[in-house]
Structure 1
Amino acid sequence: MPLIKEAIEKILGLASIQTQIVGSQIFTNSDLELVKDAVTDILKVRNLSGIVDYLKNNFDSKLPVLIHVESPTRVNVLTRFNRDLHRSTLIEAHAFTPEIAFGRYYDIESFNILLQSCFVQTELRDTLLGIVGNVKDENVTNFGDDGVSQQVTAKTGVATVGPVKLPNPVWLKPFRTFVEIEQPLSAFVFRMKDGPSASLFEADGGAWKVVAVQEIKSYLSTALNLQVESGEIVIVG
Protein backbone atom coordinates (compact mmCIF):
# COMPACT_ATOMS: atom_id res chain seq x y z
CA MET A 1 0.00 0.00 0.00
CA PRO A 2 2.71 2.58 0.82
CA LEU A 3 4.16 2.09 -2.67
CA ILE A 4 0.77 2.63 -4.31
CA LYS A 5 0.15 5.76 -2.22
CA GLU A 6 3.59 7.10 -3.15
CA ALA A 7 2.93 6.48 -6.85
CA ILE A 8 -0.44 8.25 -6.69
CA GLU A 9 1.14 11.26 -4.99
CA LYS A 10 3.86 11.33 -7.66
CA ILE A 11 1.26 11.36 -10.44
CA LEU A 12 -0.76 14.12 -8.75
CA GLY A 13 2.40 16.14 -8.30
CA LEU A 14 3.29 15.84 -11.97
CA ALA A 15 -0.20 16.92 -12.99
CA SER A 16 0.26 20.25 -11.22
CA ILE A 17 3.52 21.11 -12.98
CA GLN A 18 3.24 24.18 -15.17
CA THR A 19 5.66 25.89 -17.48
CA GLN A 20 6.60 29.53 -17.66
CA ILE A 21 8.40 31.45 -20.40
CA VAL A 22 11.08 33.84 -19.13
CA GLY A 23 12.63 35.82 -21.94
CA SER A 24 13.43 33.27 -24.62
CA GLN A 25 13.61 30.29 -22.22
CA ILE A 26 11.08 27.88 -20.66
CA PHE A 27 11.03 26.89 -16.97
CA THR A 28 8.86 24.49 -14.92
CA ASN A 29 7.27 25.58 -11.62
CA SER A 30 8.33 22.38 -9.85
CA ASP A 31 11.93 23.38 -9.30
CA LEU A 32 12.51 26.17 -11.84
CA GLU A 33 14.31 23.63 -13.97
CA LEU A 34 15.27 25.02 -17.36
CA VAL A 35 13.67 23.20 -20.27
CA LYS A 36 16.19 23.49 -23.08
CA ASP A 37 15.09 24.13 -26.63
CA ALA A 38 15.63 21.34 -29.12
CA VAL A 39 18.82 21.75 -31.12
CA THR A 40 18.15 22.37 -34.79
CA ASP A 41 20.37 22.69 -37.83
CA ILE A 42 21.44 26.20 -38.76
CA LEU A 43 19.70 27.51 -41.88
CA LYS A 44 22.34 28.14 -44.56
CA VAL A 45 22.02 30.39 -47.59
CA ARG A 46 24.41 31.63 -50.27
CA ASN A 47 23.40 35.26 -50.62
CA LEU A 48 22.51 38.32 -48.57
CA SER A 49 18.96 38.46 -49.91
CA GLY A 50 18.28 35.12 -48.17
CA ILE A 51 19.05 36.74 -44.81
CA VAL A 52 16.92 39.78 -45.69
CA ASP A 53 13.92 37.60 -46.64
CA TYR A 54 14.24 35.52 -43.47
CA LEU A 55 14.38 38.54 -41.15
CA LYS A 56 11.71 40.60 -42.90
CA ASN A 57 9.26 37.74 -42.48
CA ASN A 58 10.45 37.04 -38.90
CA PHE A 59 9.77 33.40 -39.73
CA ASP A 60 10.89 31.92 -36.41
CA SER A 61 9.72 34.89 -34.27
CA LYS A 62 13.23 35.38 -32.89
CA LEU A 63 13.58 39.17 -33.08
CA PRO A 64 15.51 41.06 -31.79
CA VAL A 65 18.69 39.63 -33.33
CA LEU A 66 22.29 40.52 -34.00
CA ILE A 67 23.76 40.36 -37.52
CA HIS A 68 27.49 39.69 -37.43
CA VAL A 69 29.34 40.43 -40.67
CA GLU A 70 32.22 38.10 -39.89
CA SER A 71 34.10 38.49 -43.19
CA PRO A 72 33.54 39.43 -46.86
CA THR A 73 32.17 35.92 -47.45
CA ARG A 74 30.33 35.08 -44.20
CA VAL A 75 27.41 36.67 -42.33
CA ASN A 76 25.69 35.18 -39.25
CA VAL A 77 22.38 36.06 -37.58
CA LEU A 78 22.54 35.48 -33.81
CA THR A 79 20.04 35.53 -30.94
CA ARG A 80 20.55 37.34 -27.64
CA PHE A 81 22.46 35.65 -24.83
CA ASN A 82 20.47 33.02 -22.93
CA ARG A 83 20.87 32.38 -19.19
CA ASP A 84 23.98 30.29 -19.93
CA LEU A 85 25.48 33.26 -21.80
CA HIS A 86 25.31 31.42 -25.11
CA ARG A 87 24.01 32.71 -28.42
CA SER A 88 22.24 30.62 -31.03
CA THR A 89 22.93 31.03 -34.75
CA LEU A 90 19.65 31.19 -36.66
CA ILE A 91 20.89 31.58 -40.21
CA GLU A 92 24.26 32.05 -41.90
CA ALA A 93 25.23 33.15 -45.38
CA HIS A 94 28.35 31.99 -47.22
CA ALA A 95 29.17 33.72 -50.50
CA PHE A 96 29.81 31.75 -53.68
CA THR A 97 33.18 33.00 -54.96
CA PRO A 98 35.48 31.62 -57.66
CA GLU A 99 38.87 30.19 -56.73
CA ILE A 100 41.59 32.66 -57.71
CA ALA A 101 45.20 31.70 -56.95
CA PHE A 102 46.91 35.08 -56.58
CA GLY A 103 50.69 34.78 -56.82
CA ARG A 104 50.49 31.76 -59.09
CA TYR A 105 51.70 31.96 -62.69
CA TYR A 106 49.16 30.93 -65.34
CA ASP A 107 49.85 30.18 -68.97
CA ILE A 108 48.47 32.86 -71.27
CA GLU A 109 45.30 30.98 -72.20
CA SER A 110 44.44 30.20 -68.56
CA PHE A 111 45.21 33.76 -67.49
CA ASN A 112 42.97 35.11 -70.24
CA ILE A 113 40.09 32.91 -69.05
CA LEU A 114 40.74 33.89 -65.42
CA LEU A 115 40.45 37.60 -66.21
CA GLN A 116 37.23 37.18 -68.14
CA SER A 117 35.47 34.80 -65.74
CA CYS A 118 36.60 35.95 -62.29
CA PHE A 119 36.95 39.73 -62.61
CA VAL A 120 34.43 42.51 -63.14
CA GLN A 121 34.75 44.12 -66.57
CA THR A 122 36.75 47.37 -66.29
CA GLU A 123 38.94 49.37 -68.65
CA LEU A 124 42.15 48.16 -67.01
CA ARG A 125 41.03 44.53 -67.08
CA ASP A 126 40.44 44.90 -70.82
CA THR A 127 43.89 46.47 -71.18
CA LEU A 128 45.49 43.41 -69.59
CA LEU A 129 43.47 41.13 -71.86
CA GLY A 130 44.74 43.09 -74.83
CA ILE A 131 48.35 42.67 -73.74
CA VAL A 132 48.36 38.97 -72.83
CA GLY A 133 46.19 38.11 -75.81
CA ASN A 134 48.65 39.66 -78.27
CA VAL A 135 52.01 38.47 -76.91
CA LYS A 136 54.18 37.32 -79.82
CA ASP A 137 57.33 36.20 -78.04
CA GLU A 138 58.06 33.75 -75.23
CA ASN A 139 60.65 36.05 -73.66
CA VAL A 140 59.81 38.72 -71.06
CA THR A 141 62.27 41.58 -70.67
CA ASN A 142 63.05 43.37 -67.41
CA PHE A 143 64.29 46.90 -67.92
CA GLY A 144 65.03 50.05 -65.96
CA ASP A 145 66.89 50.26 -62.67
CA ASP A 146 63.97 49.66 -60.30
CA GLY A 147 63.75 45.89 -60.76
CA VAL A 148 60.01 46.16 -61.32
CA SER A 149 59.31 47.32 -64.85
CA GLN A 150 58.79 44.66 -67.53
CA GLN A 151 58.01 44.59 -71.21
CA VAL A 152 56.92 41.98 -73.72
CA THR A 153 56.88 41.77 -77.47
CA ALA A 154 53.26 42.03 -78.52
CA LYS A 155 51.08 42.97 -81.44
CA THR A 156 50.59 46.74 -81.30
CA GLY A 157 48.60 47.31 -84.48
CA VAL A 158 46.99 45.59 -87.42
CA ALA A 159 50.34 44.43 -88.80
CA THR A 160 52.92 45.72 -86.33
CA VAL A 161 54.72 44.07 -83.45
CA GLY A 162 56.73 45.94 -80.82
CA PRO A 163 57.71 46.23 -77.18
CA VAL A 164 54.86 46.84 -74.74
CA LYS A 165 55.51 47.98 -71.17
CA LEU A 166 53.44 46.15 -68.56
CA PRO A 167 51.25 48.42 -66.38
CA ASN A 168 51.89 48.41 -62.61
CA PRO A 169 50.17 48.52 -60.25
CA VAL A 170 46.85 47.44 -61.78
CA TRP A 171 43.51 48.20 -60.11
CA LEU A 172 41.01 45.38 -60.57
CA LYS A 173 37.72 44.04 -59.16
CA PRO A 174 37.89 40.27 -58.67
CA PHE A 175 34.75 38.48 -57.47
CA ARG A 176 35.58 38.03 -53.78
CA THR A 177 32.37 38.78 -51.88
CA PHE A 178 28.58 38.59 -52.15
CA VAL A 179 27.18 39.41 -55.59
CA GLU A 180 24.63 41.87 -54.13
CA ILE A 181 27.35 44.42 -53.37
CA GLU A 182 29.90 46.11 -55.60
CA GLN A 183 33.14 44.15 -55.73
CA PRO A 184 35.93 46.13 -54.02
CA LEU A 185 38.58 47.72 -56.22
CA SER A 186 42.11 46.88 -55.11
CA ALA A 187 45.70 47.07 -56.30
CA PHE A 188 47.68 44.18 -57.79
CA VAL A 189 51.21 43.73 -59.08
CA PHE A 190 51.09 42.30 -62.61
CA ARG A 191 54.08 40.15 -63.56
CA MET A 192 55.01 37.93 -66.48
CA LYS A 193 57.68 35.26 -67.00
CA ASP A 194 59.19 33.57 -70.01
CA GLY A 195 56.92 30.98 -71.51
CA PRO A 196 55.10 33.29 -71.42
CA SER A 197 53.04 33.14 -68.24
CA ALA A 198 51.34 35.80 -66.12
CA SER A 199 50.37 36.35 -62.50
CA LEU A 200 48.69 38.87 -60.20
CA PHE A 201 49.98 39.55 -56.68
CA GLU A 202 47.77 41.23 -54.07
CA ALA A 203 49.15 44.63 -53.14
CA ASP A 204 46.62 46.38 -50.89
CA GLY A 205 47.43 44.73 -47.55
CA GLY A 206 43.92 43.30 -47.25
CA ALA A 207 42.24 46.73 -47.25
CA TRP A 208 39.60 45.39 -49.63
CA LYS A 209 38.21 43.21 -46.83
CA VAL A 210 37.40 46.27 -44.71
CA VAL A 211 35.66 47.88 -47.68
CA ALA A 212 33.66 44.72 -48.39
CA VAL A 213 32.47 44.37 -44.77
CA GLN A 214 31.33 48.01 -44.76
CA GLU A 215 29.47 47.51 -48.05
CA ILE A 216 27.72 44.41 -46.67
CA LYS A 217 26.66 46.32 -43.55
CA SER A 218 25.38 49.17 -45.70
CA TYR A 219 23.39 46.79 -47.92
CA LEU A 220 21.77 45.02 -44.97
CA SER A 221 21.06 48.28 -43.15
CA THR A 222 19.25 49.67 -46.18
CA ALA A 223 17.34 46.45 -46.92
CA LEU A 224 16.24 46.06 -43.27
CA ASN A 225 15.88 49.76 -42.58
CA LEU A 226 12.69 49.72 -40.48
CA GLN A 227 13.82 46.88 -38.24
CA VAL A 228 17.25 48.46 -37.77
CA GLU A 229 15.71 51.81 -36.80
CA SER A 230 13.37 50.12 -34.33
CA GLY A 231 16.26 48.29 -32.65
CA GLU A 232 14.96 44.84 -33.55
CA ILE A 233 18.11 44.24 -35.62
CA VAL A 234 21.65 45.33 -34.76
CA ILE A 235 24.40 44.98 -37.38
CA VAL A 236 28.07 44.70 -36.44
CA GLY A 237 31.16 43.90 -38.46
Structure 2
Amino acid sequence: MDMTREALQYVVGLSEANILEINGDTYTDKQVHRIDNSLHAAAIEMNTLSSLVDYAKAFADEMSDQMLVQVVSPTEVKLISCLDADRKRECLVNVSAMIPDFNYGRYMDHESFIIALQSKFIDNKDRELLLRFAGTVKDESIAQYGDDGVTQKATIKTGITSVGEAIVPNPVHLCPFRTFVEVEQPESAFVFRMKQSEGRGVECAIFEADGGAWKNAAMRNIKGYLQSELSELPQFTVIS
Protein backbone atom coordinates (compact mmCIF):
# COMPACT_ATOMS: atom_id res chain seq x y z
CA MET A 1 0.00 0.00 0.00
CA ASP A 2 2.83 2.41 0.94
CA MET A 3 4.68 1.57 -2.30
CA THR A 4 1.54 2.31 -4.34
CA ARG A 5 1.12 5.69 -2.62
CA GLU A 6 4.77 6.58 -3.24
CA ALA A 7 4.46 5.55 -6.90
CA LEU A 8 1.38 7.72 -7.35
CA GLN A 9 3.09 10.66 -5.71
CA TYR A 10 6.06 10.24 -8.04
CA VAL A 11 3.81 10.13 -11.11
CA VAL A 12 1.89 13.21 -9.96
CA GLY A 13 5.19 14.99 -9.42
CA LEU A 14 6.14 14.40 -13.05
CA SER A 15 3.09 16.22 -14.35
CA GLU A 16 3.22 19.87 -15.29
CA ALA A 17 1.76 22.44 -12.93
CA ASN A 18 -1.65 23.78 -13.89
CA ILE A 19 -2.61 27.40 -13.24
CA LEU A 20 -6.14 27.86 -11.91
CA GLU A 21 -8.26 30.99 -11.61
CA ILE A 22 -10.73 30.80 -8.72
CA ASN A 23 -12.83 33.80 -7.65
CA GLY A 24 -10.31 36.16 -9.23
CA ASP A 25 -7.30 34.57 -7.45
CA THR A 26 -4.54 32.55 -9.13
CA TYR A 27 -3.62 29.08 -7.83
CA THR A 28 -1.42 26.17 -8.88
CA ASP A 29 -2.31 22.52 -8.38
CA LYS A 30 1.21 21.52 -7.26
CA GLN A 31 4.13 22.95 -5.33
CA VAL A 32 6.65 24.79 -7.48
CA HIS A 33 10.04 26.33 -6.69
CA ARG A 34 11.61 29.39 -8.23
CA ILE A 35 15.01 28.90 -9.90
CA ASP A 36 17.52 31.64 -9.06
CA ASN A 37 19.06 33.62 -11.88
CA SER A 38 22.50 33.62 -10.22
CA LEU A 39 24.53 30.63 -9.07
CA HIS A 40 26.19 30.81 -5.64
CA ALA A 41 29.48 29.18 -4.65
CA ALA A 42 30.00 27.36 -1.37
CA ALA A 43 31.83 29.46 1.22
CA ILE A 44 35.52 28.78 1.91
CA GLU A 45 36.12 28.01 5.60
CA MET A 46 39.08 29.85 7.20
CA ASN A 47 40.39 30.36 10.73
CA THR A 48 42.49 33.55 10.60
CA LEU A 49 41.92 37.13 9.55
CA SER A 50 45.23 37.15 7.70
CA SER A 51 43.95 34.31 5.46
CA LEU A 52 40.91 36.40 4.58
CA VAL A 53 43.11 39.40 3.76
CA ASP A 54 45.40 37.26 1.57
CA TYR A 55 42.39 35.85 -0.28
CA ALA A 56 40.91 39.30 -0.87
CA LYS A 57 44.19 40.71 -2.17
CA ALA A 58 44.83 37.73 -4.46
CA PHE A 59 41.55 38.13 -6.41
CA ALA A 60 41.68 34.36 -6.89
CA ASP A 61 37.93 34.12 -7.56
CA GLU A 62 35.51 36.24 -9.52
CA MET A 63 33.75 38.70 -7.21
CA SER A 64 31.25 41.52 -7.36
CA ASP A 65 32.54 45.03 -7.90
CA GLN A 66 31.56 45.78 -4.31
CA MET A 67 32.03 43.29 -1.47
CA LEU A 68 31.14 43.44 2.21
CA VAL A 69 33.36 42.14 5.01
CA GLN A 70 30.98 41.61 7.92
CA VAL A 71 32.26 41.25 11.48
CA VAL A 72 29.49 39.01 12.79
CA SER A 73 30.92 38.39 16.27
CA PRO A 74 34.29 38.31 18.10
CA THR A 75 34.87 34.88 16.57
CA GLU A 76 33.24 35.09 13.12
CA VAL A 77 33.79 37.19 9.98
CA LYS A 78 32.13 36.75 6.58
CA LEU A 79 33.02 37.98 3.10
CA ILE A 80 29.73 38.51 1.27
CA SER A 81 28.58 40.05 -1.97
CA CYS A 82 26.11 42.87 -2.42
CA LEU A 83 22.57 41.97 -3.51
CA ASP A 84 22.34 40.05 -6.78
CA ALA A 85 19.49 39.90 -9.31
CA ASP A 86 17.53 37.65 -6.93
CA ARG A 87 18.02 40.07 -4.00
CA LYS A 88 20.31 37.53 -2.32
CA ARG A 89 23.90 37.69 -1.09
CA GLU A 90 26.69 35.23 -1.84
CA CYS A 91 29.00 34.29 1.04
CA LEU A 92 32.46 33.55 -0.38
CA VAL A 93 34.41 33.18 2.89
CA ASN A 94 33.46 32.29 6.45
CA VAL A 95 36.20 32.88 9.04
CA SER A 96 35.90 31.22 12.47
CA ALA A 97 38.45 31.98 15.19
CA MET A 98 40.17 29.07 16.90
CA ILE A 99 40.26 29.99 20.59
CA PRO A 100 41.05 27.89 23.67
CA ASP A 101 38.18 26.69 25.84
CA PHE A 102 37.83 28.01 29.37
CA ASN A 103 34.96 27.26 31.74
CA TYR A 104 34.02 30.69 33.05
CA GLY A 105 31.83 30.49 36.14
CA ARG A 106 32.82 26.91 36.98
CA TYR A 107 35.12 25.85 39.80
CA MET A 108 38.25 23.82 39.10
CA ASP A 109 41.11 22.58 41.22
CA HIS A 110 43.66 25.30 41.76
CA GLU A 111 46.43 23.47 39.84
CA SER A 112 44.24 23.30 36.71
CA PHE A 113 43.30 26.92 37.30
CA ILE A 114 46.96 27.97 37.40
CA ILE A 115 47.73 26.07 34.19
CA ALA A 116 44.74 27.64 32.43
CA LEU A 117 45.78 31.14 33.54
CA GLN A 118 49.27 30.61 32.13
CA SER A 119 48.17 29.12 28.80
CA LYS A 120 44.87 30.87 27.97
CA PHE A 121 45.37 34.41 29.28
CA ILE A 122 47.73 37.19 28.23
CA ASP A 123 50.26 38.21 30.86
CA ASN A 124 49.27 41.31 32.80
CA LYS A 125 49.44 42.60 36.36
CA ASP A 126 46.30 40.89 37.65
CA ARG A 127 47.14 37.57 36.02
CA GLU A 128 50.48 37.64 37.80
CA LEU A 129 48.69 38.48 41.04
CA LEU A 130 46.28 35.56 40.69
CA LEU A 131 49.05 33.13 39.78
CA ARG A 132 51.08 34.14 42.81
CA PHE A 133 48.03 34.01 45.06
CA ALA A 134 46.56 30.70 43.86
CA GLY A 135 49.99 29.07 43.86
CA THR A 136 50.54 29.78 47.57
CA VAL A 137 47.11 28.88 48.92
CA LYS A 138 47.17 26.18 51.58
CA ASP A 139 44.67 23.29 51.52
CA GLU A 140 41.77 23.46 53.99
CA SER A 141 42.50 27.18 54.29
CA ILE A 142 39.64 29.08 52.65
CA ALA A 143 37.63 31.20 55.04
CA GLN A 144 34.75 33.39 53.96
CA TYR A 145 33.61 36.37 55.96
CA GLY A 146 31.03 39.06 55.38
CA ASP A 147 27.52 38.54 54.09
CA ASP A 148 27.84 40.21 50.70
CA GLY A 149 29.31 37.15 48.98
CA VAL A 150 32.19 39.17 47.54
CA THR A 151 34.96 39.40 50.14
CA GLN A 152 36.98 36.30 51.01
CA LYS A 153 40.18 35.55 52.82
CA ALA A 154 42.56 32.61 52.62
CA THR A 155 45.53 31.17 54.43
CA ILE A 156 48.59 31.33 52.21
CA LYS A 157 52.10 29.95 52.54
CA THR A 158 54.44 32.82 53.30
CA GLY A 159 57.54 30.69 53.70
CA ILE A 160 58.63 27.07 53.99
CA THR A 161 56.68 26.52 57.20
CA SER A 162 55.00 29.80 58.01
CA VAL A 163 51.52 30.78 56.91
CA GLY A 164 49.62 34.02 56.78
CA GLU A 165 46.16 35.35 56.04
CA ALA A 166 45.50 37.21 52.83
CA ILE A 167 42.50 38.82 51.13
CA VAL A 168 41.45 37.17 47.90
CA PRO A 169 41.95 39.78 45.12
CA ASN A 170 38.65 41.00 43.70
CA PRO A 171 37.70 42.11 41.09
CA VAL A 172 40.51 41.35 38.65
CA HIS A 173 41.11 42.59 35.11
CA LEU A 174 42.28 39.87 32.73
CA CYS A 175 42.87 39.38 28.99
CA PRO A 176 41.75 35.89 27.92
CA PHE A 177 42.20 34.69 24.36
CA ARG A 178 38.60 35.22 23.17
CA THR A 179 38.95 36.57 19.64
CA PHE A 180 41.26 36.38 16.60
CA VAL A 181 44.96 36.33 17.44
CA GLU A 182 45.72 39.10 14.93
CA VAL A 183 43.96 41.71 17.07
CA GLU A 184 44.35 42.95 20.63
CA GLN A 185 42.55 40.81 23.20
CA PRO A 186 40.14 43.01 25.21
CA GLU A 187 40.77 43.34 28.92
CA SER A 188 37.69 42.99 31.12
CA ALA A 189 36.66 42.60 34.76
CA PHE A 190 36.17 39.22 36.43
CA VAL A 191 34.99 38.14 39.86
CA PHE A 192 37.50 35.70 41.37
CA ARG A 193 36.22 33.17 43.90
CA MET A 194 37.71 30.29 45.86
CA LYS A 195 36.12 27.55 47.91
CA GLN A 196 37.02 24.47 49.89
CA SER A 197 35.54 21.27 48.44
CA GLU A 198 35.40 18.09 50.46
CA GLY A 199 37.78 15.54 48.99
CA ARG A 200 38.94 17.93 46.25
CA GLY A 201 40.79 20.61 48.18
CA VAL A 202 40.88 24.25 47.14
CA GLU A 203 38.96 25.18 43.97
CA CYS A 204 39.02 28.43 42.00
CA ALA A 205 36.71 30.10 39.50
CA ILE A 206 36.36 33.40 37.68
CA PHE A 207 33.05 34.92 36.60
CA GLU A 208 32.65 37.44 33.78
CA ALA A 209 31.66 40.81 35.22
CA ASP A 210 31.57 43.29 32.33
CA GLY A 211 28.13 42.50 30.91
CA GLY A 212 29.62 41.37 27.60
CA ALA A 213 31.22 44.75 26.83
CA TRP A 214 34.38 42.93 25.75
CA LYS A 215 32.52 41.62 22.67
CA ASN A 216 31.96 45.15 21.36
CA ALA A 217 35.61 45.99 22.00
CA ALA A 218 36.77 42.85 20.19
CA MET A 219 34.57 43.57 17.18
CA ARG A 220 35.92 47.14 16.99
CA ASN A 221 39.45 45.73 17.04
CA ILE A 222 38.63 43.29 14.24
CA LYS A 223 37.00 46.00 12.15
CA GLY A 224 40.00 48.32 12.63
CA TYR A 225 42.43 45.58 11.64
CA LEU A 226 40.53 44.68 8.47
CA GLN A 227 40.03 48.33 7.46
CA SER A 228 43.76 48.90 7.80
CA GLU A 229 44.74 45.73 5.90
CA LEU A 230 42.23 46.36 3.09
CA SER A 231 42.68 50.12 2.88
CA GLU A 232 44.13 49.87 -0.64
CA LEU A 233 41.13 47.90 -1.89
CA PRO A 234 38.13 50.29 -1.86
CA GLN A 235 35.83 47.64 -3.29
CA PHE A 236 35.84 45.95 0.16
CA THR A 237 33.67 47.63 2.79
CA VAL A 238 34.08 46.46 6.39
CA ILE A 239 30.96 46.52 8.56
CA SER A 240 30.15 45.23 12.06
Task: Name the TM-score class by shorter chain.
Answer: 0.7 to 0.9
- Counterpart CA distance in 2 for 1:151 and 1:92 is 47
- Code of the residue aligned with 1:235 in structure 2: it is V
**CA apart distance, 1:212:** 0.2
TM-score normalised to the size of structure 2? 0.80
Q: Does 1:235 align with 2:238?
A: yes
**CA apart distance, 1:35:** 5.3
Out of 201, 206, 212, the position equivalent to 2:212 is 206
Residue of structure 2 in register with 1:172 after alignment: 174
Residue of structure 2 in register with 1:57 after alignment: 58
59-68 or 202-211, which moves further after superposition? 59-68
Out of 100, 103, 125, the position equivalent to 2:102 is 100
171-180 or 131-140, which moves further after superposition? 131-140
- Counterpart CA distance in 2 for 1:41 and 1:136 is 56
Flag the 1:139–1:226 CA change in 2: closer, same or farther, 3 A. Answer: same
**CA apart distance, 1:139:** 3.2
Counterpart contact for 1:73–1:178, Cα < 8 Å: yes
- Code of the residue aligned with 2:163 in structure 1: it is V
Any idea what the Cα deviations from partners look like across 1:51-103, whole Å, max 9, x if unmatched?
10011112213142001100000000001111111000001110000111101
- Counterpart CA distance in 2 for 1:103 and 1:157 is 31
Residue of structure 1 in register with 2:90 after alignment: 88
Q: Does 1:44 align with 2:45?
A: yes
Counterpart contact for 1:139–1:193, Cα < 8 Å: no
Residue of structure 2 in register with 1:215 after alignment: 221
Counterpart contact for 2:38–2:85, Cα < 8 Å: no
TM-score normalised to the size of structure 1? 0.81
- Counterpart CA distance in 1 for 2:82 and 2:95 is 19
Unaligned runs of at least 5 residues, structure 1:
1-32
Residue of structure 1 in register with 2:20 after alignment: none
Counterpart contact for 2:41–2:92, Cα < 8 Å: no
- Counterpart CA distance in 1 for 2:114 and 2:162 is 22
- Counterpart CA distance in 2 for 1:147 and 1:223 is 47
Q: Secondary structure at the match of 2:176?
A: coil
Out of 122, 126, 142, the position equivalent to 1:140 is 142
Residue of structure 2 in register with 1:149 after alignment: 151
The number of equivalent residue pairs is 201
**CA apart distance, 1:148:** 1.3
Counterpart contact for 2:145–2:151, Cα < 8 Å: yes
- Code of the residue aligned with 1:202 in structure 2: it is E
Counterpart contact for 2:42–2:91, Cα < 8 Å: no
**Residues 117-132 of structure 1 correspond to what in structure 2 (within 5 A)?**
117-132=119-134
- Code of the residue aligned with 2:57 in structure 1: it is K
Q: Secondary structure at the match of 1:226?
A: coil
**CA apart distance, 1:159:** 5.0
- Counterpart CA distance in 1 for 2:44 and 2:36 is 25
- Counterpart CA distance in 1 for 2:151 and 2:219 is 34
Q: Secondary structure at the match of 1:184?
A: coil
- Code of the residue aligned with 2:218 in structure 1: it is A
- Code of the residue aligned with 2:209 in structure 1: it is A
- Code of the residue aligned with 2:237 in structure 1: it is V
- Code of the residue aligned with 2:236 in structure 1: it is I
| RMSD, aligned α-carbons | 1.6
